[in-house]
C-alpha cells in the first residue's frame, strides 16, 4: 500500500498526490521515519526518495526512483545543517567530481550531483548496491582464500584506475568496500566513499598540514603524522592492513583502551607484527611477503600504486588456483583406485556366491542319493 507522506491519502507508488503534490511511498517505509521531510518529495527535479536506507553524521542515503525513467538509485543527501560549512560542501562536490571521473567495474557509479535550493541541501545520485560490506564479511565468516584474493585483486584494480588519474582514496577500509552478488551468483566488489579523496595537483586542498586524516586502524604512517604530501602509497598501505586482517583474522595495530592516538602511534613507530594466517587458510609465502611490503613504513618501499599491487595479487591468485587444481588431482586418482577396489570387491562377491550355490547343489545331490539308497531304489 502506498501513502502520501503529506496528507496520508492512499495512491499509486511514486505517483504525484493531487492534494499536496508530494509523491506516494510505501506505507511501511513512511512508518519507519514519519517525520522525514524528504520522503516523497522531488529532488533535483527528477528523483523521488522512497525509503531511508542509511544515515551518518553529515548525510542520509535514500533509496530513490527516477521520475521519468523509473531507474532505482541511491540518493546521498547532505544534511541541511551542514550547508553553511563550506569545507563539507566542497568535500561533497569533490566526491562527485572524483567518482564522476572514474569509470571502472569495481567503483560505484555516479549518475548526477547538484544543489537543491528548495530543501537547502545537495544531492548525489549513485548506483544502488545490494549486498554487504567487506567489514561485515570479515567480522562474521571465513571466506575461502581464493574468493578473498579475487576480491582484493579487484580492489587493487579499482585503486589502480584511480591512481592512474592522480586520485588517492585516503580512507580505504572494509566499510568502504561493498560485496555485491551478480545474477549468476558470483560476488564482486565495489569501492565507494571517495568523499575524502585527493586529486593530485588540485588547486584547493581540503586538509591542513599537521592534521591526521583517515581511519586509525587503516591509516598510513604519513597520514598519522599529518603530512600533506600523500601519494598512492597511502592506499597501498591501507590495502595491506586489510589483507593482514583478512588472512589473520585481526588488524595488526590495535588499542586495548580503544584509543585512536595509540593506534596511530603504533602505525608510525611499532614494528610490523607477524602475520599468522587463520588455521583455515593455506597461505603461500608470497602473499605474506606482499602484505609486509604493503605495510612498509616508508612509502617508497611499498608498491608504487594500485596497478603494481594488482599485478602482484593477480600472480598470487593464479598460484593459489594452480595449487588448488594440483590438490584435486590426487582426489581424482584416489576415486579411480576406489572404483577399481569396488569392482574387485564386487567380483569377489560374485565368485563367493557362485561357490555357495555349487556347494548347495552338491549337498542337494548327496541328500537325493542317500534317500534312494535308503529306499533301495
Q: What is the pLDDT of residues 81-125, one digit of tens each?
A: 999 999 888 888 988 999 999 999 999 999 999 999 999 999 999
Nearest residue to 164 (alpha-carbon basis) of 193, 199, 134:
199
Q: What is the dihedral of CA 63, 67, 72, 73, to 10 degrees?
A: -60
Find the helix or strand (DSSP H, E) in which 278 lies: none
CB 267 within 8 A of CB 253: yes
CB 46 within 8 A of CB 11: no
CB 88 within 8 A of CB 82: yes
193: which residues sit within 8 A by CB, 6+ positions away?
95, 171, 175, 176
58 Rama class: left (phi>0) / alpha (psi -120 to 50) / beta: alpha
What DSSP character marks residue 290?
H
Pairing of strands 47-55, 25-26: unpaired
Strand-pairing partners, residue 198, are 168
Catalytic residue among 36, 171, 193, 235: 171
Backbone phi, psi, residue 113, to 5°: -155, 135
Residue range 239-245: average pLDDT? 98
Q: What pLDDT was estimated at residue 338?
A: 57
> At residue 165, does pLDDT exceed 90?
yes
Number of Cβ within a 10 Å radius of residue 213: 18
The Cα–Cα gap between 264 and 39 comes to 40
The Cα–Cα gap between 200 and 296 comes to 22
Distance of CA 245 to the CA centre of its chain: 14
For residue 313, give the 3-state DSSP assignment: helix
What DSSP character marks residue 56?
-
- Please state, rounded to an integer, the average pLDDT across all residues of the chain: 87
Cell of 368: 537325493
Q: What would you report as the CA-atom Rg of the chain, rounded to the nearest whole angstrom?
A: 32
Q: What pLDDT was estimated at residue 327?
A: 75
> At residue 52, does pLDDT exceed 70?
yes
**253-303 confidence digits (pLDDT tens):** 998 888 999 999 999 999 999 999 999 999 999 999 999 999 999 999 999
116: which residues sit within 8 A by CB, 6+ positions away?
43, 44, 122, 123
Residue range 219-240: average pLDDT? 93
Q: What pLDDT was estimated at residue 203?
A: 44
The Cα–Cα gap between 24 and 3 comes to 5
Q: Which long-range contacts (CB under 8 A, 24 or more apart) does 97-105 make?
A: 97/199, 98/162, 98/167, 98/194, 98/197, 98/199, 99/126, 99/194, 101/165, 101/167, 102/161, 102/162, 102/165, 102/167, 102/194, 103/161, 104/157, 104/158, 104/161, 104/162, 105/188
Q: What pLDDT was estimated at residue 88?
A: 87
pLDDT band at residue 229 under the 50/70/90 scheme: confident
pLDDT band at residue 199 under the 50/70/90 scheme: low
pLDDT top residue among 280 and 200: 280
Is 171 a known active-site residue?
Answer: yes
Amino acid at each position: 500500500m502506498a501513502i502520501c507522506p503529506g496528507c496520508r491519502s492512499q495512491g499509486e507508488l511514486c505517483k504525484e498526490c493531487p492534494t499536496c503534490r508530494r509523491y506516494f511511498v510505501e506505507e511501511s517505509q513512511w512508518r519507519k521515519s514519519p517525520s522525514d521531510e524528504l520522503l516523497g518529495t522531488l529532488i533535483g527535479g527528477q528523483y523521488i526518495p522512497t525509503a531511508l536506507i542509511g544515515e551518518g553524521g553529515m548525510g542520509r542515503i535514500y533509496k530513490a526512483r527516477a521520475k521519468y525513467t523509473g531507474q532505482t538509485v541511491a540518493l546521498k543527501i547532505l544534511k541541511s545543517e551542514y550547508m553553511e560549512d563550506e569545507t563539507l560542501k566542497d568535500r561533497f562536490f569533490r566526491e562527485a567530481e572524483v567518482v564522476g571521473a572514474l569509470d571502472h567495474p569495481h567503483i560505484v557509479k555516479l549518475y548526477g550531483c547538484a544543489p537543491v535550493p528548495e530543501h537547502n541541501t545537495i544531492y548525489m545520485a549513485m548506483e544502488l548496491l545490494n549486498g554487504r560490506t567487506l567489514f561485515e564479511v570479515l567480522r562474521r565468516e571465513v571466506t575461502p582464500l581464493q574468493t578473498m584474493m579475487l576480491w582484493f585483486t579487484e580492489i587493487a584494480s579499482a585503486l589502480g584506475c584511480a591512481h592512474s588519474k592522480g586520485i588517492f582514496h585516503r580512507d580505504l577500509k572494509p566499510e568502504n568496500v561493498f560485496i555485491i552478488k551478480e545474477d549468476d551468483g558470483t560476488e564482486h566488489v565495489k569501492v565507494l566513499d571517495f568523499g575524502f579523496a585527493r586529486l593530485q595537483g588540485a588547486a584547493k586542498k581540503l586538509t591542513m598540514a599537521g592534521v591526521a586524516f583517515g581511519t586509525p586502524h587503516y591509516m598510513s604512517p604519513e597520514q598519522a603524522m599529518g603530512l600533506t604530501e600523500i601519494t598512492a602509497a597511502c592506499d597501498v598501505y591501507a590495502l595491506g592492513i586489510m589483507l593482514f586482517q583478512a588472512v589473520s583474522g585481526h588488524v595488526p595495530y590495535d588499542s586495548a583502551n580503544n584509543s585512536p592516538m595509540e593506534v596511530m602511534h603504533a602505525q608510525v613507530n611499532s614494528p610490523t607484527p607477524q602475520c599468522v594466517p587463520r588455521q583455515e587458510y593455506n597461505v603461500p609465502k608470497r602473499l605474506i611477503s606482499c602484505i609486509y611490503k604493503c605495510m612498509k613504513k616508508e612509502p617508497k618501499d611499498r608498491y608504487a600504486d594500485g596497478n603494481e599491487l594488482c599485478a602482484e595479487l593477480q600472480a598470487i591468485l593464479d598460484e593459489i588456483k594452480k595449487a588448488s587444481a594440483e590438490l584435486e588431482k590426487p582426489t581424482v586418482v584416489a576415486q579411480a583406485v576406489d572404483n577399481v577396489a569396488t569392482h574387485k570387491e564386487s567380483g569377489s562377491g560374485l565368485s563367493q556366491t557362485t561357490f555357495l550355490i555349487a556347494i548347495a547343489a552338491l549337498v542337494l545331490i548327496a541328500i537325493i542319493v542317500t534317500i534312494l539308497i535308503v529306499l533301495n531304489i
